[in-house]
Amino acid sequence: MVAYVIIPGIDGSDDRHWQSRWERAWGDAAVRIAPRSWTRPELRDWVGAVQAAHDAAAARGGRVVLVAHSLGCWAAAEWLAQARPGRVPAFLAAPPDPRGPAFPAAAAPTFVELTARPLSGPALVVASDDDPYGDATASAALAAGWGARRHSAGAHGHLNSASGLGDWPAGRELLDSLVGP
């Protein structure tokens, strides 16, 4: 059995977002983080929210897998670095470049100085070739820093609701390749 921790970006993922669709499909096997600072993200709050969601998911039994999008990728990576939970797999979709020109100003105070450090478990960075928040070079550098595999999802923008991915079956296949049987 697998329990999933859903880690959206700023303001969460709306109902049309692939994360929300996957969460609905997984039902009780999914736990979404609930930081107090959705709109003006504070790193410590988000890392604490990942810890709480991980604990809730782990209490359900089985393996825990992190499923992060955008700024949530950084919260996941920092939680993995701080909590050192062992080999928790991390699916990291569309991580933003904290030094890029489009990095959200609301997150800058506590997220902008982060650097990608090797993660303790298997990880997969899935990035779009035309993501306004992190180009292919930046996402490749993040994947290398995290010790993660990188997969190009083609040209789909920020891999969010506006990308029109729907249930994103290709993403689910990639997640399954990370998690395994």
Cα–Cα distance between 60 and 170 in angstroms, integer? 27
What per-residue confidence (pLDDT) applies to 54?
Answer: 97
Cα–Cα distance between 53 and 6 in angstroms, integer? 8
Q: How confident is the model at residue 15 (pLDDT cuts 50, 70, 90)?
A: very high
Mean pLDDT of 147-157: 95
What is 7-179's CATH topology?
A: Rossmann fold (3.40.50)
Sort 10 into a burial class: Cβ within 10 Å, 0-12 / 13-18 / 19+. middle
Residue 8 has pLDDT above 90, yes or no: yes
CA 55 to chain centre: 17
Mean pLDDT of 22-51: 96
% residues pLDDT > 90 (the chain)? 88
95 neighbors 124 (Cβ within 8 angstroms): no
What per-residue confidence (pLDDT) applies to 61?
Answer: 84
The pairing of strands 63-69 and 149-152 is unpaired
Instruction: For the chain, give the mean pLDDT.
Output: 94
Q: Identify the CA nearest to 67 among candidates 17, 107, 109, 115.
A: 17
What are the pLDDT digits (tens) for 72-101? 999 999 999 998 888 999 999 999 999 999
Q: Is pLDDT larger for residue 178 or for residue 83?
A: 178
Read off the pTM: 0.96
Cα–Cα distance between 4 and 56 in angstroms, integer? 10
- Based on its alpha-carbon atoms, the radius of gyration of the chain, rounded to whole angstroms, reads 14
Residue 69 has pLDDT above 90, yes or no: yes
Mean pLDDT of 146-165: 94
Q: How confident is the model at residue 181 (pLDDT cuts 50, 70, 90)?
A: low
